[in-house]
């Protein structure tokens, strides 16, 4: 029955969905694709200002659904899936990536994958049912390109990096999936449903899902006179490997956390609390003891500004809706990009950074044939008028630098004949250094 329902939704086109930058929390951008997949062709066609990616999901086949015993270990908030209740086996799952090109979205490429998604269901200890995802790292297999669209890079090189890109996107969408599929158990006529994790399973040779619930009197009274713990983030530290051979690196991110309570019982011993975290719109982690948490979400590989959230509970207790602490962490281990453009005597330095965008500082110096002049002061001014510079020969070499907030500097140079009708040569160079 479940498989038939999903087939009907697929056949009607209901599973053909689109995710723009609002859905992915501005995670998918042309900057990300250009860096992660090393796609220089994207830089040549994508809009300079509108950098978001439109992702369209178009399944080519209906999925197969296999039911299981729904066996989990752990406690609410820290479940581990031993055997899923439902495994969605979906072949030929197409992901179309679009970029904004010349005032419209154009297809960059189509990636086709096979999806094997394990799902379990468990009570969350607060009167609701939550969806628990299995190992997402092994969910996508047989990744390949079926349409190269606007790309000019070798197909094999792009395919090698696709699993990492898809894993990052799916990891963020998984948080919204689990939230949307969770639901509260109903109460009616003064009665409520009580469930244990063993009460949800499949029956009749794994052909039906069964839920065995007990009825209990709904007293509408709080289960505890204590208020839920309030989590706090005391500090966040970020460390980088600084390996120049790696285009994308996984920084070491840790948080110092604490918790307190305000109810009839005041704050307990710090060792009585444990914490769960999530990054952006991703899923919540399992609970772990503090006061220092290691944050290992793969999305932290991406340069940019990421929002961390932390919640707390007493050790072994079911999670309850308490205050969530939030803190922004900045990941920045790459130098910005820099290009030099010239129109007559006006030179413009165009920089872009995955973390800071166009909010950069610039400086320049002139090689006039005999020697290099002194570097100018750092400024946010991007335009330079060569005609106002004193004693400048007709042919010069300009060096420019762009610096982001983390201190990473990129250098670009261009030799130009700015008096006359000689076309400018655009040169680009990039290096990572701190000034």
The pLDDT tens digits of the residues spanning 224-255 come to 556 778 889 999 999 988 776 666 778 899 99
The number of residues in the chain equals: 435
Q: Where in the chain is the domain with CATH 2.60.40.10?
A: 230-331
Question: Tokens 């920084």 map to which residue?
Answer: 251
pLDDT level of residue 164 (50, 70, 90 thresholds):
confident
Segment 3-16, tens digit of pLDDT: 677 777 777 776 77
Is there a contact between 258 and 229 (Cβ–Cβ < 8 Å)?
no
Q: CA-to-CA distance for 42 and 345, rounded, in angstroms?
A: 29
CATH number assigned to the domain covering 337-417: 2.60.40.1930
Segment 180-200, tens digit of pLDDT: 566 677 766 667 777 777 888
Give pLDDT, residue 321.
63
Give domain 2-184's CATH number out of 3.40.50.970, 3.30.390.10, 3.30.70.20, 3.15.20.10: 3.15.20.10
pLDDT level of residue 350 (50, 70, 90 thresholds):
very high
Q: Where in the chain is the domain with CATH 2.60.40.1930?
A: 337-417
Q: CA-to-CA distance for 122 and 297, rounded, in angstroms?
A: 23
Please report, for residues 22, 159, 353, the alpha-carbon distance to residue 38 in angstroms, rounded to integers and kept in the order given: 24, 11, 15
pLDDT level of residue 23 (50, 70, 90 thresholds):
low
Is there a contact between 349 and 382 (Cβ–Cβ < 8 Å)?
yes
Q: CA-to-CA distance for 289 and 308, rounded, in angstroms?
A: 17
**pTM across the whole model:** 0.72
Q: Of all residues in the chain, what percent carry a pLDDT higher than 70?
A: 80
Is there a contact between 318 and 293 (Cβ–Cβ < 8 Å)?
no
Is there a contact between 299 and 27 (Cβ–Cβ < 8 Å)?
yes
352-379 as b/e, with b when 16 or more CB fall inside 10 Å? Answer: bbbbbeeebbbbbebeeeeeeeeeeeee
CATH topology for 230-331? Immunoglobulin-like (2.60.40)
Q: Exposure of 343 by Cβ count < 10 A (0-12 exposed, 13-18 middle, 19+ buried)?
A: exposed
* Token representation of residue 117: 């998604």
Is there a contact between 201 and 85 (Cβ–Cβ < 8 Å)?
yes
Give pLDDT, residue 234.
92
Give pLDDT, residue 93.
86
Q: Where in the chain is the domain with CATH 3.15.20.10?
A: 2-184
- The lowest-confidence range among 47-61, 217-231, 288-302, 407-421 is 217-231
pLDDT value at 424 more than 60: no
Segment 67-125, tens digit of pLDDT: 999 888 887 777 888 889 888 888 998 888 888 888 888 888 898 989 888 888 888 76
pLDDT level of residue 361 (50, 70, 90 thresholds):
very high
């Amino acid at each position: 029955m479940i498989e038939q329902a999903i087939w009907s939704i697929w056949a009607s086109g209901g599973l053909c969905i689109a995710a723009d930058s609002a859905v992915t929390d501005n995670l998918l951008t042309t900057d990300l694709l250009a860096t992660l997949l090393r796609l220089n062709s994207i830089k040549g066609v994508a809009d300079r200002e509108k950098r978001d990616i439109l992702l369209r999901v178009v399944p080519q086949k209906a999925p197969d659904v296999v039911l299981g015993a729904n066996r989990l270990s752990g406690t609410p908030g820290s479940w581990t899936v031993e055997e899923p209740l439902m495994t969605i086996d979906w072949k030929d799952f197409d992901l179309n990536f679009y970029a904004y090109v010349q005032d419209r979205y154009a297809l960059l490429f189509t990636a086709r994958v096979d999806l094997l998604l394990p799902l379990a269901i468990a009570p969350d200890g607060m009167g609701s049912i939550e969806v628990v995802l299995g190992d997402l790292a092994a969910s996508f297999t047989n990744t390949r390109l079926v349409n190269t669209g606007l790309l000019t890079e070798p197909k094999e090189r792009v395919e090698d990096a696709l699993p990492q890109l898809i894993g990052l996107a799916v990891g963020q969408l998984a948080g919204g999936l689990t939230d949307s599929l969770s639901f509260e158990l109903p109460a009616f006529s003064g009665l409520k449903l009580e469930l244990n994790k063993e009460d949800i399973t499949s029956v009749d040779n794994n052909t039906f899902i069964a839920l065995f619930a007990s009825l209990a009197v709904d007293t509408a009274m709080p289960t505890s006179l204590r208020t839920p713990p309030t989590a706090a983030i005391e500090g966040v530290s970020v460390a980088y490997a600084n390996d120049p051979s790696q285009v994308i690196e996984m920084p070491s991110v840790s948080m110092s956390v604490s918790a307190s309570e305000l109810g009839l019982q005041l704050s307990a011993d710090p060792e009585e609390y444990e914490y769960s975290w999530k990054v952006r719109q991703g899923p919540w982690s399992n609970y772990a003891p503090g006061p220092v948490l290691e944050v290992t979400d793969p999305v932290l590989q991406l340069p940019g500004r990421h929002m961390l959230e932390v919640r707390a509970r007493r050790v072994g207790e079911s999670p309850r809706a308490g205050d969530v602490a939030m803190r922004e962490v900045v990941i920045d281990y790459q130098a910005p990009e820099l290009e030099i453009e010239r129109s007559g005597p006006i030179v413009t330095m165009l920089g872009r950074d995955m973390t800071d965008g166009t909010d950069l500082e610039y400086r320049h110096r002139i090689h006039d044939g005999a020697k290099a002049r002194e570097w100018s002061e750092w400024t946010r001014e991007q335009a330079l008028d060569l005609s106002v510079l004193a004693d400048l020969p007709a042919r010069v070499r300009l060096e420019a630098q762009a610096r982001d907030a983390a201190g990473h500097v990129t250098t670009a140079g261009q030799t130009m004949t700015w008096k006359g009708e000689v076309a400018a040569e655009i040169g680009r160079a990039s290096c990572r250094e701190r000034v």
